[in-house]
Amino acid sequence: MNNRIVDHPILGKIKERKVISFTFDGKKYTGYEGDTIASALLANGIRKLRVHEESGNPRGIYCNIGHCFECRLTVDQEPGVRACLTQLQENMVIESGKRLPAPLKSEGNRDDLPRNYAEFAKKYEESKEDDPRA
């Protein structure tokens, strides 16, 4: 998939540039010298860059100036790299952001960890009831 704007009525024909290879989530892609990671991925039709760490909702570029941090990716094993401010380099290994475990998030399960004193006290009372020695 190529989303390049090759001809432009005012800016003219796109300049010949060096082709740069990289991988995203293990798949091979190419971009051009001067691309940011964000522009190279978008040119390849890739919009979903990560999922929200807790909810798993899909996210992509938003501001393109490094402020919103929505485009953070793992690049050559460095996490939290902003795709929109990082120049594409030969053989970059880029990985999308994944969902992370949320051990402190309440799922309404009995074995959830307590998140505040009230929950702790309740759990403590429950554990006393559960324990036949008490």
> Is the separation of the CB atoms in 73 and 97 below 8 Å?
yes
Provide the mask over 45-64, with x wherever binding to other proteins is found by CB under 8 A and - wherever it is not: --xxx--x----xxxxxxxx
**In terms of Cα–Cα distance, which of 125, 121, 126 is closest to 110?**
126
Say whether residue 94 binds other proteins (CB under 8 A).
no
Say whether residue 95 binds other proteins (CB under 8 A).
no
Say whether residue 10 binds other proteins (CB under 8 A).
yes
Q: How far is the CB of 60 from other proteins (least distance, A)?
A: 3
> Is the separation of the CB atoms in 56 and 100 below 8 Å?
no
Say whether residue 36 binds other proteins (CB under 8 A).
yes
DSSP 9-37: TTT-SPPP--EEEEEETTEEEEEETT-BH
DSSP 92-123: EEEE-B-----TTS--S-TTPPP-SHHHHHHH
Compare residues 98 and 115 and give the one whose CB is closer to other proteins: 98
**In terms of Cα–Cα distance, which of 125, 116, 75, 65 is closest to 96?**
75
Compare residues 8 and 28 and give the one whose CB is closer to other proteins: 8
Compare residues 14 and 100 and give the one whose CB is closer to other proteins: 14
Compare residues 63 and 93 and give the one whose CB is closer to other proteins: 63
Say whether residue 92 binds other proteins (CB under 8 A).
no
Interacting residue with other proteins among 19, 21, 66, 120 (CB under 8 A): 66
